[in-house]
Amino acid sequence: MDNQEIQLKTFGAEARGKINLGDFNLSAGVKHRSHPVYGINPFEENFDLSVDPWWSVAYDLGYTDEYWFFDGEGNGVDDLYDYYNWNWFTPEGVQIADTDEEFMRYHFGKAIDTYNRNELSLLGMQQEVSIVVGVNYYFYKDNFWVHGWGDVLPYHVGLSDFAYVDMNIPGKTNLDFNVGLITGAKITKKLGVFTEGRYQRYWDIKNYEIKMGINYSIF
């Protein structure tokens, strides 16, 4: 899973045992998950805007500026009443702003985001193993079907230095879960429709998802 909109990324594998109870299946086992580092803000840890001026921080992030002024009288002199400001350039030397205000409004926040992403990527993917308990329900008729599921991950063991379970984060919860329901119906022999809803919380990141679609059987 790689959902950039909510910055949720994970992959792994799991092994479970299953008990069949008619339309219900109960399962339990272990689940391995990899994930980026969550719960750390490198910028806040390494910079303090209440102490360091924002332009000094921008310099530390690799940005540069260049003073300019508008010579209203055309005398070639930077008079006190002439308008002045700074051009801003990326670390690669590309000009992105003509004024301090433009740089702060449109680029400084992006510079902080880029810094955080780069610093966190250096820490690599983190590893956890969790207990997983689940229940599935499946009901099927010739023209209608329902599939519901719920997984709960109540206990985790961190396998790397920055695994989320080991992070000291105020308000952090270690109970992860994934629940969903999908229903479908046949309109004709080949044409059908379906609706799917899912709610997932992994590492305190909530993911809501609703899908609707059409199924068509070619053969």
- Whether 17 and 113 map to the same domain: the answer is no
118 with 129, same domain: the answer is no
pTM of the model: 0.72
Complete DSSP assignment for the chain: -EETTTTEE-EEEEEEEEEEETTEEEEEEEEEEEE---S--HHHHH--TTTS-HHHHHHHTT-EEEEEEE-TT-SS---TTSEEEEEEE-TTS-EEESSHHHHHHHTHHHHHHHHHHHHHHHH--EEEEEEEEEEEEEEEETTEEEEEEEEEEEEEEE-STT-GGG---TT----EEEEEEEEEEESSSSEEEEEEEEEEEETTEEEEEEEEEEEE---
User: For position 210, what pLDDT does the model report?
Assistant: 94
Residues 90 and 131 in one domain: no
Instruction: Please give the radius of gyration of the chain, using alpha carbons only, rounded to the nearest integer.
Output: 27
Residue type, position 97, single letter? A
Range of the domain at 79: 42-122
Split into its structural domains, the chain has a count of: 2
Contact 94, 100 (CB under 8 A): no
Single out the residue in 103, 122, 141 at which a domain terminates. 122
189 shares a domain with 110:
no
Task: Kindly state whether residues 73 and 87 are assigned to the same domain.
Answer: yes
Task: Please indicate, yes or no, whether residues 90 and 197 belong to a single structural domain of this protein.
Answer: no
Residue 154 and residue 189 in one domain? yes
Specify whether 80 is located in the same domain as 188. Answer: no
Domain-ending residue, one of 122, 157, 181: 122
- Whether residues 67 and 26 share a domain: the answer is no
Same-domain check for residues 77 and 156: no
Q: What average pLDDT does range 142-164 have in this prediction?
A: 94
Work out the mean pLDDT of the chain and round it to a whole number: 91
- Is residue 218 predicted with pLDDT exceeding 90? no
pLDDT for the residue 103: 95
Q: Specify whether 96 is located in the same domain as 177.
A: no
Query: CA 165, CA 158: separation in Å to the nearest integer?
Result: 6
Tokens of 35: 């994930």
- What pLDDT does 64 receive? 96
Each residue's pLDDT tens digit, 160-216 = 999 999 998 888 999 999 999 999 999 988 899 999 999 999 999 999 999 999 988
Phi (first) and psi of residue 53, to 5 degrees:
-65, 145
Mean pLDDT (whole number) for 15-31:
95
Mark whether 105 and 71 lie in a shared domain: yes
Residues sharing a CB contact under 8 Å with residue 41, sequence separation 6 or more, in sequence order: 116
Question: Which residue, 96, 122, 148, sits at the end of a domain?
Answer: 122
